[in-house]
């Protein structure tokens, strides 16, 4: 009986659980996470407007773990021993025959004054803070922006910031108070959203202009204050700042011999194997993988990597040579509460469709379809 340990309870980890259990009914699967729950982060864009409540997006995994016969270990990973055969946690060590690391990424919080900005993808508490701050504001300037990890081009998550930007614009219009606010989108990139593809960049900038959203682009970030965004190209006042910094690896990686990329993520091959380690895999935001610079850090990509990691680990446990790779593709709907734009990119094509009401409802339908498997 193979003992397989997974770290994390996000998209990659839960997909890996399903693939492992389907392929090996006898495996002993242990999942390590701080809580037995899954947060559907894509839905947090709708919390500020009331389209979603926090409890709609926080899924208790108790039933899922019972169905999948998963041993849940409540705790946080803290290190590795014996070449990955023992995972150390703050509540004891766990031995394994195979390990898949799906613990996500960590946002780089080195910019001076970053405590004055809200990082939306940090979870539901951040979305609640955005909701409450928006309700309290009677007018002023709202700044929304993102940056990347200069040492890891793929370690960024800009797409949700366009959704928060357009969603806030739409929310204020529906509330009849848009004229009291100035919206500013900022980024050190002169052409933000490049990973979505050239067509998407042009469409996003056109949409900002159409909505009366100002831009401050192409200037390196210097710092935030409680009322200002300061860049090398100037500064502007802001009453509410939403900012998504670049991503790097989890802090617990520093206590291990895991190979790291220049950007601090776990170095993996095309089969999601951690370089130089036996039966240790990585999936999702924790890893740095070979592929194009536009490879996204998004749920869909994490699911694809988790499928490959699970299949290859089981092959390796049987004495075989892992050969399964994952597709590199980006599919997302940039939502604005009542409509959305479909963006897709693969090595062979790139499309960016205009804002249509049907895409908003497709995004909501997908959320229901995806979450039903965990409820």
Neighbour count for residue 206 (Cβ, 10 Å): 11
Q: From CA 246, how far away is CA 336, in angstroms rounded?
A: 23
144 within 8 A of 236, measured Cβ to Cβ: no
Strand partners, 340: 335, 356
DSSP 59-112: EE-HHHHHHHTEEEEES-EEEEEGGGTEEEETTEEEE-SEEEE----EE---ST
Q: From CA 34, how far away is CA 38, in angstroms rounded?
A: 11
134 DSSP 8-state letter = H
Q: At what angle do helices 159-174 and 198-211 cross, to 10 degrees?
A: 20
Tokens of residue 304, six digits: 């694809």
According to DSSP H, which parts of the chain are helical?
Answer: 11-23, 54-57, 62-68, 124-136, 159-174, 198-211, 299-317, 357-371
Q: State the burial class of residue 89 (Cβ atoms within 10 Å of its Cβ: 0-12, 13-18, 19+).
A: buried
pTM: 0.95
Neighbour count for residue 262 (Cβ, 10 Å): 11
Please name the helix (run of DSSP H) or strand (run of DSSP E) that holds residue 185, with its range, or none. strand 181-187
Q: From CA 32, how far away is CA 123, in angstroms rounded?
A: 19
Rg (CA), the chain: 21
Q: What are phi and psi of 207, to 5 degrees?
A: -65, -40
pLDDT digits (tens, 9 = 90+) for 263-321: 999 999 999 999 999 999 999 999 999 999 899 999 999 999 999 999 999 999 999 99
CA-based nearest residue to 314, from 11, 26, 8: 26
Domains and CATH numbers, the chain: 3-106+247-317 (3.50.50.60), 109-246 (3.50.50.60)
Q: Are strands 247-248 and 106-107 parallel, antiparallel or unpaired?
A: antiparallel
Q: From CA 2, how far away is CA 307, in angstroms rounded?
A: 18
Q: What residue ranges of the chain have pLDDT lower than 70? A: none
Q: Mean pLDDT in the chain?
A: 96
Q: Are strands 181-187 and 28-33 parallel, antiparallel or unpaired?
A: unpaired
CA-based nearest residue to 360, from 22, 5, 52, 132: 52
Residue-level pLDDT at 353:
93
Longest CA–CA span in the chain (Å) reads 65
224 within 8 A of 110, measured Cβ to Cβ: no
Q: From CA 137, how far away is CA 85, in angstroms rounded?
A: 52
Residue-level pLDDT at 44:
97
Q: How many residues does the chain have?
A: 375
pLDDT digits (tens, 9 = 90+) for 212-254: 999 999 999 999 999 999 999 999 999 999 999 999 999 999 9
Tell how far CA 163 is from the center of its chain.
Answer: 14
Residue-level pLDDT at 194:
85
Q: From CA 301, how far away is CA 165, in angstroms rounded?
A: 23
Residue-level pLDDT at 153:
81
282 DSSP 8-state letter = E
Q: What is each CA distance from 124 to 48, 132, 374, in whole angstroms?
A: 11, 12, 18
Residue-level pLDDT at 341:
96
Residue tagged 């500064």 (tokens):
235
Residue-level pLDDT at 156:
86
Residue-level pLDDT at 57:
97
């Amino acid at each position: 009986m193979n003992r397989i340990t997974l770290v994390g309870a996000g998209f990659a980890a839960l997909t890996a659980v399903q693939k492992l259990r389907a392929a090996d009914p006898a495996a002993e699967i242990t999942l390590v996470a701080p809580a037995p729950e899954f947060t559907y982060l894509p839905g947090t864009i709708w919390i500020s407007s009331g389209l979603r409540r926090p409890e709609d997006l926080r899924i208790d995994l108790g039933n899922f773990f019972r169905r999948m016969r998963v041993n849940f270990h409540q705790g946080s990973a803290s290190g590795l021993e014996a070449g990955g055969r023992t995972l150390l946690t703050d509540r004891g060590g766990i031995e394994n025959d195979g390990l898949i690391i799906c613990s996500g990424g960590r946002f780089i919080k080195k910019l001076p004054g970053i405590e004055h900005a809200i990082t939306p993808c940090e979870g539901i508490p951040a979305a609640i803070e955005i909701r409450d701050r928006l309700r309290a504001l009677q007018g002023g300037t709202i700044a929304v922006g993102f940056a990347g990890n200069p040492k890891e081009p793929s370690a960024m998550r800009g797409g949700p910031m366009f959704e928060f930007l357009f969603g806030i614009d739409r929310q204020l219009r529906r509330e009849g108070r848009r004229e009291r606010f100035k919206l500013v989108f900022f980024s050190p990139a002169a052409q933000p959203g490049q990973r979505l593809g050239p067509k998407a960049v042009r469409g996003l900038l056109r949409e900002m202009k159409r909505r009366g959203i100002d831009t401050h682009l192409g200037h390196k970030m210097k710092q935030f204050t409680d009322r200002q965004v300061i860049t090398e190209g100037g500064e502007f006042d802001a009453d509410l700042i939403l900012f998504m910094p670049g991503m790097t690896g989890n802090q617990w990686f520093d206590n291990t011999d895991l190979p790291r990329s220049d950007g601090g993520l776990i170095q993996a091959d095309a089969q999601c194997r951690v370089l130089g380690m036996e039966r240790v895999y990585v999936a999702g935001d924790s890893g740095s993988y070979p592929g194009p610079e536009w490879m996204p850090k998004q749920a869909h990509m994490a699911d694809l990597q988790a499928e490959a990691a699970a299949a290859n680990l089981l092959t390796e446990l049987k004495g075989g040579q892992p050969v399964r790779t994952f597709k590199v593709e980006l599919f997302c709907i940039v939502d604005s509460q009542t409509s959305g734009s479909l963006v897709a990119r693969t090595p062979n094509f790139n499309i960016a469709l205009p804002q249509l009401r049907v895409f908003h409802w497709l995004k909501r339908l997908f959320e229901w379809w995806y979450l039903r498997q965990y409820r």
